Chain A
Amino acid sequence: MPVNLFGLAKTFENRAEDIGLVQGHRLCPGCAAPIVVKFSLMVARKLGYEPVVGLATGCLEVSTTIYPYTAWTVPYIHNAFENSAATMSGVETAARALKKFGVLPKDKKYAFFVFAGDGGTYDIGLQSLSGMIERGHKVIYILYDNEGYMNTGNQRSGSTPTGSNTTTAPVGKVIPGKVQLKKNIVEIVAGHEYVYAATVSISDPNDFFSKIEKSLNFDGPSFIAAFSPCVRFWRIPDGAANSISKLAVETKYWPLYEVENGVYRVTRKPRQFKPLIEFLKPQGRFKPLLSRPDADEIVQRLQEYVDRRWERLLTLEEATKGKPIR
């Protein structure tokens, strides 16, 4: 039976410390990042894995490990901003070697996780991530994508969507905020071919769990891009992370799909989609854009973009069906 929310809730009832990330951390109320972490760790635990986590510099790292406290009850390492994937490559290799020499029991199941934000993944950490996947380390790299450098106060990143207001790409009278499109990180990762890559959203937990389960079973590197609303700099209410995530999926902004050895599969196909504006409107980060005279035009272009991307995804799914690379 697949892992489901009810089953996990039952398992970890009164055993919160077994999950790996416990209460008392200092992330903002309503932040989606700890939910992403807990969802991932719970599945690993439930399936009998011992999680080992590595973090890149970011909100999650600084807020969960404020001296003299830690919110982690599992082995934890933070190195720097650009090298969490490389660090965990080392950890994973060491574990394999220790098993080989009989220091660690051969049947012990470890789940090596990296948790990194979009700055540490799309930008400075991309080289390290690519190296980890190419070498085939069995590490599950989980990106919590809050679409900007939120830890340093909302600077744009390679993940920031077009038109979002950030301090280093501010929306002004002349320039409408960030003009470039968000990088398609899943396709970049999927381009490594021998990898399991997927997108997840906290608004669809069962899909989330099944993708983590697949990652754990996949005999190689995995990459999970988790949509992770930032209540502070997306300028949304504390309780809105889930509803915004839901809107992201329902407006084609954040399609839920996976790529396994080159085979695309869209895991959620809503019958009807909402217009993109319904995702943009409730977020304060798009407010300066939407109050510009050319807002309709820009939104229209973005709508066309998400539509085309969705069509492309369906085409890829059709074209790659039953044709894994290896």
Chain B
Amino acid sequence: MSDYVLMQGDEAAALGAIRAGCRFYAGYPITPASEIAEVMARELPKVGGVFIQMEDEIASATSIIGASLAGVKSMTATSGPGFSLMQEAIGYAIMTETPTVFVDVMRGGPSTGMPTKPSQGDIMQARWGTHGDHAIIVIYPSTVQEVYKYMITAFNLAEKYRTPVVFLMDELLGHMRENFKFPEDKEIFVFSRLKEEQLKEEEVFLPYETEEYAEPTPQPLVEMGKAKFHVSGLIHDESGFPMANPEIAGGLIRRLVEKIRLHADEIAMYDEYMTEDAEILIVAYGITARSAMRAIRIARNDRIKVGLFRPITIWPVSRTRLKQLLSRIDALIIAEMNLGQYAHEILEMARSSTKVKLVNKVSGELITPQEILDAITEVQSGIMGYY
């Protein structure tokens, strides 16, 4: 018998989360993310976890913060309109340094938009949706297999850096079924919380104490246990108590941002395809990267030297690697199913002499390999001087 099964993206997200140790899910039905809730409702009780359907997305988002602080790994999943409602809670999770995973299976927006059509319109909202200065980790897989794999990574990063992690998926990936193989136990690392016995009895637990300021590393949260601490969305000191002292306020906000920024290279994940000799670089993520790979294979038949850089953590992106690649290419193609949201991030790093071609689509359809191929042909003839 083959090791492969047919798996839907939403299902893989739910099962990956359970494998990562998620034991609390709160959610609200919304197309195209409802299936994640449905699988969780069925599977979580079997492993001793709890599924609750809440009255809306605001409640879903805040209850997972409560559950995570109480000691279990927690997540929720939604789509565009629900993701908008969750933004305040995401900010709260950042401020209170609560490990949580927010899945956004993207559909066309704004507003109700196109509930059953794919879109990559929430790229900037995932980064800057909540108010105030902050940093965040956003993971964006391309295949059903990766959904499972990186869901585990999402939980690990959330726990390690004590931060909400946004997990973006394409509507198409959420609903698509493809070949899937459960990874073996030895291929999986799961980050654990501090055990109760690891706490010193006589000491007061300072939840917001970090190891060192230059490269702040938050201590892990405690498992279900007796650690008591004060939690507030107000500016607070290391014990968690509100404090309006300018020094503490500035220090806290900087630390919240720097704990991600200074570890960006450690956090950032990416994938490359035929970049060794590339003269043209395509930057694409999620489902669009798969169209790009197909286009690259066709273009390579014509000896066009084109490669793909696919960020898996779109925030933070690996600037180190991207700058290396950008320094030696002639042309850059950025393909995304929006009107150029991620292009900003990339173009900031590109040399001014690089020819740039954007491939954008917001019609509720995928960007096809042909459209990317057309872009490749266009920049290639520009490079060759056929213009």
Q: Do A and B come from one complex?
A: yes
Q: Is the CB of B55 within 8 A of A167?
A: no
Q: Which residues of A contact B29 (CB under 8 A)?
A: 119, 149, 152-153, 155, 168
Q: Which residues of A contact B55 (CB under 8 A)?
A: 122-124, 126, 158
Q: Is the CB of B56 within 8 A of A82?
A: yes
The residues in B between 41 and 88 inclusive whose CB is less than 8 angstroms from any CB of A are 41-42, 45, 51, 53, 55-57, 81, 85
Q: Which residues of A contact B85 (CB under 8 A)?
A: 82
Q: Which residues of A contact B45 (CB under 8 A)?
A: 174-175
Q: Is the CB of B112 within 8 A of A80?
A: yes
Q: Which residues of B contact A (CB under 8 A)?
A: 27-31, 34, 37-38, 41-42, 45, 51, 53, 55-57, 81, 85, 111-112
Tell me the bound Cα distance from A264 to B56 in angstroms: 31
Question: Is A310 an interface residue when CB atoms closer than 8 A count as contact?
Answer: no
Q: Which residues of A contact B30 (CB under 8 A)?
A: 152
Q: Which residues of A contact B42 (CB under 8 A)?
A: 170, 172
Q: Is the CB of B56 within 8 A of A155?
A: no
Question: Helix, strand, loop or mixed for chain A's interface?
Answer: loop
Q: Which residues of B contact A124 (CB under 8 A)?
A: 28, 55-57
Question: Is A72 an interface residue when CB atoms closer than 8 A count as contact?
Answer: no
Question: Helix, strand, loop or mixed for chain B's interface?
Answer: mixed
Question: Is A156 an interface residue when CB atoms closer than 8 A count as contact?
Answer: yes
Q: Which residues of B contact A149 (CB under 8 A)?
A: 29, 34
Q: A123-B55, A158-B55 are in contact. Are A168 and B41 (CB under 8 A)?
A: yes
The residues in A between 199 and 222 inclusive whose CB is less than 8 angstroms from any CB of B are none
**B81 to A, closest residue via Cβ:** A80
Tell me the bound Cα distance from A82 to B58 in angstroms: 11
Q: Is the CB of B81 within 8 A of A155?
A: no
Chain A CB within 10 Å, residue with most, of B34, B37, B81: B34
Question: Is A57 an interface residue when CB atoms closer than 8 A count as contact?
Answer: yes
**A174 to B, closest residue via Cβ:** B45
Q: Which of B27, B34, B56, B57 is close to A153, meaning CB atoms less than 8 Å apart?
A: B34
A 80-118 to B, binary, CB cutoff 8 A, 1 in contact else 0: 111000000000000000000000000000000000000
The residues in A between 153 and 171 inclusive whose CB is less than 8 angstroms from any CB of B are 153, 155-156, 158, 167-170
A-B CB contact pairs (8 Å), 13 listed? A57-B112, A78-B112, A80-B111, A123-B56, A124-B55, A152-B29, A155-B29, A155-B34, A156-B53, A167-B37, A168-B37, A168-B38, A170-B41
A-B contact count (CB 8 A): 52
Tell me the bound Cα distance from A78 to B29 in angstroms: 19
Q: Which residues of A contact B111 (CB under 8 A)?
A: 80
Tell me the bound Cα distance from A156 to B38 in angstroms: 10
Q: Is the CB of A155 within 8 A of B112?
A: no
Q: Which residues of A contact B28 (CB under 8 A)?
A: 123-124
**A183 to B, closest residue via Cβ:** B55
Tell me the bound Cα distance from A153 to B57 in angstroms: 18
**A126 to B, closest residue via Cβ:** B55
CB B76 to nearest CB in A, in angstroms, measures 13
CB A159 to nearest CB in B, in angstroms, measures 11
Tell me the bound Cα distance from A119 to B30 in angstroms: 11
**B30 to A, closest residue via Cβ:** A152
CB B305 to nearest CB in A, in angstroms, measures 44
Q: Is the CB of A168 within 8 A of B81?
A: no
Size bracket, chain A contacts: 20 to 34
Q: Which residues of B contact A155 (CB under 8 A)?
A: 29, 34, 37-38, 53
Tell me the bound Cα distance from A174 to B112 in angstroms: 37
Tell me the bound Cα distance from A253 to B42 in angstroms: 28
Q: Which residues of A contact B38 (CB under 8 A)?
A: 153, 155, 167-168
Q: Which residues of A contact B41 (CB under 8 A)?
A: 167-170
Q: Which residues of A contact B51 (CB under 8 A)?
A: 168
**B111 to A, closest residue via Cβ:** A80
Q: Which of A126, A153, A168, A174 is close to B53, meaning CB atoms less than 8 Å apart?
A: A168
**A62 to B, closest residue via Cβ:** B115
CB A73 to nearest CB in B, in angstroms, measures 22
CB B56 to nearest CB in A, in angstroms, measures 4
Please name the 6 residue pairs, one residue from A and one from B, whose CB atoms are nearest each other, closest first.
A124-B56, A123-B55, A155-B29, A152-B29, A168-B41, A167-B38
CB A266 to nearest CB in B, in angstroms, measures 29
CB B122 to nearest CB in A, in angstroms, measures 16
CB B180 to nearest CB in A, in angstroms, measures 21
Tell me the bound Cα distance from A238 to B301 in angstroms: 57
**A61 to B, closest residue via Cβ:** B112
The residues in A between 175 and 189 inclusive whose CB is less than 8 angstroms from any CB of B are 175
Q: Which residues of A contact B57 (CB under 8 A)?
A: 124
Q: Which residues of A contact B37 (CB under 8 A)?
A: 155, 167-168
Q: A80-B112, A170-B42 are in contact. Are A152 and B56 (CB under 8 A)?
A: no
Tell me the bound Cα distance from A81 to B57 in angstroms: 11
Q: A80-B81, A169-B41, A170-B41 are in contact. Are A152 and B34 (CB under 8 A)?
A: yes
Q: Which residues of A contact B112 (CB under 8 A)?
A: 57, 78, 80
Chain A CB within 10 Å, residue with most, of B29, B30, B56: B29
Q: Other than the known A82-B56, A123-B55, A155-B37, what 6 A-B pairs have Cβ atoms closer than 8 Å?
A: A119-B29, A124-B57, A158-B55, A167-B37, A168-B27, A168-B41
Tell me the bound Cα distance from A57 to B57 in angstroms: 15
Tell me the bound Cα distance from A153 to B30 in angstroms: 10
Tell me the bound Cα distance from A308 to B81 in angstroms: 40
Tell me the bound Cα distance from A81 to B115 in angstroms: 13
Tell me the bound Cα distance from A193 to B45 in angstroms: 41
CB A64 to nearest CB in B, in angstroms, measures 14
**A127 to B, closest residue via Cβ:** B56
Q: A81-B81, A168-B38, A170-B41 are in contact. Are A152 and B53 (CB under 8 A)?
A: no
Q: Which residues of A contact B53 (CB under 8 A)?
A: 155-156, 168-169
The residues in A between 104 and 148 inclusive whose CB is less than 8 angstroms from any CB of B are 119, 122-124, 126
Tell me the bound Cα distance from A153 to B34 in angstroms: 8
Q: Which residues of B contact A175 (CB under 8 A)?
A: 45
Q: Which residues of B contact A119 (CB under 8 A)?
A: 29
CB B354 to nearest CB in A, in angstroms, measures 40
